[in-house]
Amino acid sequence: MTITLRQKDLENDNKSLYLDIYENGKRKFEFLSLYLLPEINDEIKARNQETLKRAQEMTDAVKAELKAIAEHGPDPDDMKKAMEFWRKQQPATQESNTFWYSFLQNYYENGLLWETDRQKVEQFITAEAIQKFARHIIDHDNLKTVIVMPAEEKLAE
Give domain status of residue 16, yes or no.
Answer: yes
* Contact in structure between 16 and 34 (CB atoms under 8 Å): yes
Give domain status of residue 129, yes or no.
Answer: yes
Helix-helix angle 127-139:42-72, to 10 degrees: 120
Return the biggest CA–CA distance within the chain. Answer: 59
For residue 23, the enclosing domain spans 2-147
Give domain status of residue 28, yes or no.
Answer: yes
- State the Cα–Cα distance between residues 138 and 97, nearest whole angstrom: 31
98-135 pLDDT, tens digit per residue, is 777 877 887 887 777 766 666 777 777 889 999 998 88
- Please count the structural domains in the chain: 1
Measure the CA angle with vertex 37, ends 148 and 18; round to 5°. Answer: 40
- State the Cα–Cα distance between residues 96 and 2, nearest whole angstrom: 25
Put residue 99 in one of left, alpha, beta given phi > 0 → left and psi -120 to 50 → alpha.
Answer: alpha
Q: What percent of the chain has pLDDT over 70?
A: 85
Give domain status of residue 36, yes or no.
Answer: yes
pTM > 0.75: no
Q: What is the CA radius of gyration of the chain?
A: 19
Give domain status of residue 84, yes or no.
Answer: yes
